[in-house]
Amino acid sequence: MNREHDRHGIGMTSQRTRERLIQRLYDEGLSNAGVLEVIRRTPRHLFVDEALAHRAYEDTALPIGHNQTISQPYMVARMSELLLAAGPLDKVLEIGTGSGYQTAILAQLVERVFTVERIQGLQERAKERLVKLSLRNVVFRWGDGWEGWPALAPYNGIIVTAAASEVPQALLDQLAPGGRLVIPVGSGDVQQLLLIIREEQGFSRHVLDAVRFVPLLNGPLA
Ligand code: SAH
């Protein structure tokens, strides 16, 4: 890939494919203009291996190594919309940095993102990508997402990009009043996207789409 191509996002073809992706997300009912605009301008091809760059603007998950995947753009948009549906957020905790793509989208929509990943190699690459895109409002942690990031709690929004067998108690504890948690729960083929809101008393729980994510595993890994 030469520098000119890199700068413009693999040429004009890609510009058209990007527009097509945005149109498709819109047609599928995603309507938050801010979210769609951020997806339009974020170069997803920089978050996958060069060999897969030509597929970066398809609405599909793609492998990123270590048996993990970069989330499907539809899911990234959907979860971002759910998180932001009640208004702007200043502090968001993300569990499962992966490629850093969802992180990069959030970083352009909220004030600060705190992101936790258990695989160090993925985290390092994600960091490099965000620096390259001059996204500086992100703090990274290598650790176990089941525990959240208690030292910096509470958060106005928490997003989990891997499927948990149950809702981690630590994440509920770290939600600010009015805070919103978006999390896929379940195992194997049976997973449901949940939106959990911390109300004045207790939590409200909304069961949304059937989804398919890689599992939320236990413990950090070198
Ligand atoms: N949002 C990412 C999705 C990556 S897939 C992207 O778009 O690229 C889910 C990620 O969750 C993987 O990187 C995986 O390593 C991470 N993960 C799984 N279990 C975890 C845990 N307990 N703590 C932190 N990260 C975890």
pLDDT in tens, 190-217: 999 999 999 999 999 999 999 999 999 9
pTM for the structure as a whole:
0.94
Per-residue pLDDT, 3: 46
Q: Is residue 118 part of a domain?
A: yes
The DSSP call for residue 50 is G
| CA–CA distance, 34 with 32 (Å, rounded to integer) | 5
| CA–CA distance, 206 with 62 (Å, rounded to integer) | 28
Q: Is the pLDDT of residue 8 over 70?
A: no
Cα 103 from chain centre: 5
Q: Is residue 23 part of a domain?
A: no
Q: What is the CATH number of the domain that holds 167?
A: 3.40.50.150
Closest residue to atom 14 of ligand 1, CA basis: 96
Q: What is the CA(84)–ligand 1 centre distance, in A?
A: 21
Q: What is the CA(162)–ligand 1 centre distance, in A?
A: 6
Q: Is the pLDDT of residue 7 over 60?
A: no
Count of domains for the chain: 1
> Which DSSP string corresponds to 74-121?
HHHHHHHHHHHTTS--SEEEEE--TTSHHHHHHHTTSSEEEEEESBHH
Domain that holds residue 133: 60-211
Q: Is residue 14 part of a domain?
A: no
* Region of poorest pLDDT, from 5-14, 125-134, 166-175: 5-14
Asked if residues 83 and 107 have their Cβ atoms less than 8 Å apart, the reply is no
| CA–CA distance, 170 with 143 (Å, rounded to integer) | 14
- Do β-strands 91-95 and 138-142 pair in parallel, antiparallel, or remain unpaired? unpaired
Asked if residues 38 and 109 have their Cβ atoms less than 8 Å apart, the reply is yes
Options 71, 80, 99, 134, the catalytic residue: 71
At 213, list the tokens: 């994510």
Q: Cβ(130) to ligand 1 under 6 A?
A: no
Q: Is residue 192 part of a domain?
A: yes
Per-residue pLDDT, 218: 86
